[in-house]
Every structure is written in C-alpha cells, then in structure tokens.
Chain A
Amino acid sequence: MLVEDIMNRNLVTIKPYETIRLAMLLTAQHRIRHLPVVDDTDKLVGIVSDRDLRDAGPSRFDNESDSEQNEDIFNRKIQDLMNKNVITAHPLDFVEEAAYALYENKIGCLPVVDGDNLKGIITDTDILYTLVELMGVHTPSSHVEIQVDDLPGMLADISAVFKKANYNVNSVLTFPGKHQGKKNLMFRVQAVDTRRLVQSLQESGFDVIWPKEPEK
C-alpha cells in the first residue's frame, strides 16, 4: 500500500507571512493538529503544529491587563515560528516507510511532497486507521492462526492446503512467533466451519494455534 492511497488530499495550509491568530483559527476550525506552510508558488517551506501555536500563544492564565501584549503575540508572523526542517514523504513511498519515519522522528505527521509541490498530508491517525482496516473484518470470516518455522516457502505450502480444501481467504498477516525461529501466520477465512481446513492443515504437519481446545 502506498502513501498516496491513504494520504489526505484536502489540504489546509497557511502562508509564511500570515499570523499566529489565523493559524490558531484554522487548526481549531478544521480540527487539525498540523498546518503545512507554503509560499506563493505552493512550495512547502515549513510546518507548524497546534502545540507550537499553544506554546507561542499567551497563557490562558494571563489577566486581561496584558491584552495589548497578547495582541502582539497573535499578530506575529508564522515564519518566525514555523519549523523549517520538514520531514516529508513521497506519494509513492510505502505506508510502512511513512510509519517508520513518524516513529523514528517522534512526529505526528508527514507532508507528502512530489518535487516541490505539496500533494497531501499523512498523520499517525491515518496510519493507525489503515492498520485497523488491514487487521479488521470487512466480510464475515473466521480466525485461523498457524505457527510455522521461519523459513522460505511456508506461506506457499499453507496456501496449497487452503486451495485444496477450497477455503477462501480474506486477509493474511504474519508476525514473529513467541518462540525463536518461529513465525505466526494469521488468516481470516470466509467460513463458519473451519474444522475440515484445520484437519487438513494438521494432516499436512502444520501447528494450528487457533482454533484450539481449552488447555487442561
């Protein structure tokens, strides 16, 4: 899956010469946490987060006698505040690369840039949602989980069993097993009754982790 498949294309941006007041208004109005900053040719030049804006803005405990000073803060330009070293993604990056970039840099969003042009934005929430969708259930199905040796070709061998038993697979996930040198394969299978499949898998020598009987 590519970044361009899940990125948000409805961009809310701000210009470097606009004010903190406008930025605060925009983030509140659109309920967003990040504003990409673009110049008049739509080139990405920076980014501000709602946290940067809160930190820059006056404390809500300030009393009103300071309002003149507050006005001053609100009127300051975005270019004084914005972060100019923007970490970006490309529309053709894999989603997992984007996820890794967010995680490594401890940031919440990546503007998606092609050449100089801002094409979209991808946030940690978008990636979490994609993960939920990937692991979730779209059509009625059952969970079947198998522990295999971490060797090439295991998925192909298992797929052959699925094919022979005539079971349709909705989704597959693989992740490291609890034991060294093992991997778990998780399938969502389009069937209420998975007994024949489980039996075929066991007859072919596979270690089926689910469905299982209660451990005595």
Chain B
Amino acid sequence: MRPACYFVHSEAYKQYKFNDEHPFNQKRLDLTLDLMQKYELIKPNQFVEPRYATTEELELIHDPNYIEAVKKCGESEKLPIIAASYGLGTEDTPAFPGMHEATSLIVGGTLRAAELVMSGECDHAVNLAGGLHHGFRGRASGFCVYNDCSVVIAYLRKHYDAKVLYIDTDAHHGDGVQWAFYDDPHVLTVSFHETGKYLFPGTGKIFERGDGQGFGYSINVPFEPFTEDESWLDVYEQVLSEAARGFKPDVIVTQNGCDSHFLDPLTHLSCSMEIYRQIPKLAHRLAHELCDGRLIATGGGGYDIWRVVPRAWTLLWAELSDQGFSDNPAIPSEWIDRWQADSPVQLPPFMFEAEDVLPDIPRRPEITSKNKLYIEKALLHAPK
C-alpha cells in the first residue's frame, strides 16, 4: 500500500549553514529524524530525495538580479560590494559558500513535496528544511535566502491553477509570503505570530488584510508576548477554521516554525509542546475536509534545537502520518543516550511538559482578553 505521507529529506540540507555560532542550525534535522526513528514512526519507503529548484522556478518569485547576487556571494571568497543592497552578508543572513545551491535544494524539496501531493502519489508531504518565509523578492532577510513557501505557492498557481491556503504558525510574521501574494485573491495567507510591536520583522498587524483584488486574503493574528497554550489555541482554531472553510482551498501549504515555545531563545511567547500537537491536527483535518487531503508541510524557525524542535516536528510528522499521540510518551532512552553528551541542556524526559515546569504568565487575563478580541477583528474581511 502506498504511504499517505512522504518525508522529503537529504543529508545535503545541512549545507544550508551560515556559520558555527548562527542560531539557524540544521543539526535540528538530524535530531528530529533520529527521534522519529527511535519512536519507529517512519518507514524506509516514506523517504523521498529533494531535487534542485531551477532558476526559472526561483524566478517565479525572485528577481533575476537577486539570484545572480546570491550565486556570486556563494562563489567568491570576498563579499561582493552589491551584497549589502540584497540583504546578504548581514549578521542575520551572512553569505556562505555554495549558498545558491544549498537554498535551491531546499526550495526544490518543497517543490518535490508539491509534485507528490498534486500528482496524487500521497496525501501529504513534509519538507522540514523548508519554511524560509522571510525571503523577499529581491532581498534576503531573517535567516532566509530564497523563499521556498512563496516559490511553491507560485508554482501551484502556475501549474495547477490551484487556490492555495497558506498557514504560518512561526512565532515571527510570515512577511515574505504575505507580501508576495498581497494582491492575489487565489492565495489566502494566514499568519499567527508574536506581535511585531517588539519582535522581528515588525509587520503582521491585524489591519494588513491584502490589497486590491486580494483585499481580505491576508489574515494576521498578532499575539501579545507571553501568550500561553489555551489562548493561542483558542484563537488559532476559531480563526483558521472559519477562514479555511470560507476560502475553500484546493491545497494547503503550512509553515511549521516552532519558535513559539517558552524555551525558544529568540521570542517571548509562553506556549508548551501541546500547541505542536494541536497545530497540525487542525490543518490535517481541514485538508481532508476541504481539499482531498492535499497538504504540503514545511519547517521554519525553531532555535532551541535540543529540547523543542525535535519534539515539535516529530509531533507534526506523527499527526500527518496518522500516528498522532494521545498520551504523553516518554522520550526513547536510546535517543537521549545518543545526544545528551552533545547537548548543553538536559534533554526532556517526556513528549509533553508537566504542568509545573510551565512559566508563570504575567497579566494572563489581560493577555487572554486582548487576544480574544483579535478573533473577530482578524475575520472581519476574511472570505466567507
């Protein structure tokens, strides 16, 4: 029997690496895959190799001059002078050797996932190296060189004329994807993120709703800092269910950044592992309800690579491959034994946190009521 869900993966994904100190660390892919394997959640016939995105495919979104600059930056020892004007060579997104090839492979992985899903070879496909949602048309930003989410959506528009629902649950606003389709009524982008009042990139305000024909087809929910599970999930479930049913997509693309966890060092939300059980559960249900199961899942942010990312993305895979956890299993001791020596922190004993390790939330009732207000406001002009 064919698997319902494929895992697009390559050892070469690790070449997307800025430097040793950089918080975007692809070691998290090893940690995740190993955890999935120790739980016996993935079979050999579920692995698929990515391909390289072609320059024509990248140009569906990116400016040819920018692509040229990325190629040049990855080839030369010295940073070309033009780098700065393309957002390359910054603290966030430094140039690195072979950066064009490394990013093209990640974009190609997400395209491969789309091909599998659209051809009916499987219902869902997962590319955890993807989710580079900050990449702009002509500019690298926020650890992202090319934007695989934008490219795959443009690809789905071009080759399948599909209506695409994009769900972004990274703690940072999915700005690159939003602006790429801001005036397109065939692409509904829904982003749930920590408010840009404080956090990068600063956009994703509730009144960013799209432009022209696309008005109403961008939805933003900015959460207050220190928002916790209950409030986060309440808003997520109501906004996403209503928007998705109103829009009636042909295919769903999800960005599964897992940096909203309270342990994440770059953000200020107070969510636990529980949201990473619930996020894919609803997206999965909506995919079967609205678009014959067609769902392409990408990774994204996640900077506690030892404690948060492996568990969160294992939960994503478990859900989409119909092996979702209903209990709270122990983390396999073989996994802990293999990695604990490398880890600067104590690895977690269970999949979900015990109530008593969750942080205390300052001003919790105010945060909850402010978030609740956003349900109605976010849906004000959403497709009905």
Contacts and interface: CB of A to CB of B under 8 A. Distances in A.
Contact of B203 (A140, A143, A190): A140
Main SS class of interface, A = loop
A142 B199 contact: yes
6 contacts: A137-B196, A143-B197, A191-B200, A192-B172, A193-B266, A196-B91
A216 B90 CA distance: 35
A137 to B, nearest CB: 3
Given A168-B90, A215-B362, 18 more contacts: A137-B196, A137-B201, A140-B141, A140-B175, A140-B200, A142-B198, A142-B201, A142-B202, A143-B199, A166-B91, A191-B200, A192-B23, A192-B92, A192-B266, A193-B91, A195-B266, A211-B198, A214-B362
Contacts of A193: 23, 91-92, 266
B277 interface: no
A191 B200 CA distance: 7
Interface string A164-197: 0011100000000000000000001011110110
Contacts of B266: 192-193, 195
Contacts of A190: 90, 92
B142 interface: yes
Interface string B184-204: 000000000000111111110
A196 B265 CA distance: 12
B72 interface: no
Q: Which 6 A-B pairs have the closest CB atoms?
A: A140-B201, A137-B202, A143-B198, A142-B200, A192-B200, A192-B142
A210 interface: yes
B226 A214 contact: yes
Nearest to A144: B198
A192 B132 CA distance: 13
Contacts of B196: 137
Contact of A140 (B23, B134, B198): B134
B269 to A, nearest CB: 10
A136 B202 CA distance: 8
Contacts of A215: 362
Contacts of A143: 197-199, 202
B380 interface: no
Interface of B: 23, 90-92, 134, 141-143, 172, 175, 196-203, 226, 265-266, 268, 270, 359-362
Contacts of A210: 198
Nearest to B202: A137
Nearest to A145: B198
Contacts of B23: 192-193
Question: Which among A142, A188, A192, A210 has the greatest number of chain B C-beta atoms within 10 A?
Answer: A192
A192 B362 contact: no
A192 B267 CA distance: 9
A214 B359 contact: yes
Contact of B360 (A137, A140, A214): A214
A201 to B, nearest CB: 15
B199 A191 contact: no
Question: Which among B23, B198, B202, B361 has the greatest number of chain A C-beta atoms within 10 A?
Answer: B202
Contact of A191 (B91, B175, B268, B360): B91
A168 B199 CA distance: 16
A140 B136 CA distance: 11
Nearest to B143: A192
Contacts of A200: none
Question: Which among B23, B199, B359 has the greatest number of chain A C-beta atoms within 10 A?
Answer: B199
B141 A214 contact: no
A195 B21 CA distance: 12
Contacts of B359: 214
A166 B91 CA distance: 8
A88 interface: no
Contacts of A192: 23, 92, 134, 142-143, 172, 200-201, 266
A141 to B, nearest CB: 5
A212 B268 CA distance: 8
B353 to A, nearest CB: 16
Question: Which among B23, B91, B141 has the greatest number of chain A C-beta atoms within 10 A?
Answer: B91
A214 B202 contact: no
A185 to B, nearest CB: 15
Nearest to A167: B91
B202 to A, nearest CB: 3
Interface string A200-216: 00000000001110111
A96 to B, nearest CB: 24
